[in-house]
């Protein structure tokens, strides 16, 4: 699978021509425009970790009949990671948005803290003498590594207040070769 590696100005992670998913309306709705498809938005209260299950279920509903099961599982995993990061590492609310556009899934989680997300260092560089809570035995800290490995594009878009961490999954890049 070939990955795009161009960076957006002011963004972190891999980015291509696609940007962060724009905010839609509450619930799943059809987007405007010829290539825009259904959109789902969910506003999250501070520390509302129970919403992660709802996000996964909402993505399943959005993707039902529109994406393969492997792509849907990947989308659920990556969305769960971004939502959990936003709720655990900030003290505020967040907004989750998923949109299908031109067959691609765009997901963004916007929080209202300007501090950029922190990715773990290269796992190959971890040592046995790493501090407690870090290194290869840590129970957290791999969310953005998963996003980096599994998303077709991802990045961070800064806003006047806060940021949006986003990813794109493109089913065409995951099609099995004949």
CATH number at residue 80: 3.30.565.10
- 2 located within any domain: no
Number of domains in the chain: 1
- 42 located within any domain: yes
Per-residue confidence (pLDDT) for residue 34, from 0 to 100:
43
- 3 located within any domain: no
Please state the three-class secondary structure of the chain as a single string: CCCCCCCCCCCCCCCCCCCCCCCCCEEEEECCCCCEEEEEEEEECCCCCCHHHHHHHHHHHHHCCCCCHHHHHHHHHHHHHHHHHHHHCCCCCEEEEEEEECCEEEEEEEECCCCCCCCCCCHHHCCCCCCCCCCCCCCCCCHHHHHHHHCCEEEEEECCCCEEEEEEECHHHHCCCC
- 85 located within any domain: yes
Block means of pLDDT (10 residues each) for the chain, length 178 residues?
33 36 37 66 91 92 85 94 90 92 93 79 52 55 85 93 94 68
Per-residue confidence (pLDDT) for residue 170, from 0 to 100:
93
- 76 located within any domain: yes
Per-residue confidence (pLDDT) for residue 20, from 0 to 100:
34
Domain residue limits at 142: 27-123+137-174
The separation between CA 151 and the C-alpha centre of its own chain, rounded to angstroms, equals 8
- 8 located within any domain: no
- 71 located within any domain: yes
Pairwise CA distance, residues 19 & 157, whole Å: 8
- 130 located within any domain: no
């Amino acid at each position: 699978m070939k990955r795009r590696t161009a960076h957006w100005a002011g963004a972190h992670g891999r980015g291509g021509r696609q940007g962060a998913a724009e905010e839609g309306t509450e619930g799943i709705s059809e987007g405007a425009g010829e290539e825009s498809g259904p959109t789902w938005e969910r506003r999250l209260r501070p520390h509302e970790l129970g919403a992660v299950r709802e996000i996964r279920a909402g993505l399943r509903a959005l993707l039902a009949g529109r994406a393969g099961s492997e792509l849907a599982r990947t989308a659920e995993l990556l969305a769960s990671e971004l939502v959990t990061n936003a709720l655990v590492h900030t003290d505020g609310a967040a907004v989750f948005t998923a949109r299908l556009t031109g067959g691609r899934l765009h997901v963004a989680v916007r929080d209202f803290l300007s501090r950029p997300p922190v990715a773990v260092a290269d796992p190959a560089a971890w040592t046995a003498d790493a501090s407690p809570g870090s290194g290869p035995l840590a129970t957290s800290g791999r969310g953005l590594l998963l996003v980096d490995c599994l998303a077709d594009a991802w990045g961070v878009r800064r806003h006047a207040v806060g940021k949006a961490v986003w990813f794109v999954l493109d089913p065409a890049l995951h099609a099995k070769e004949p």
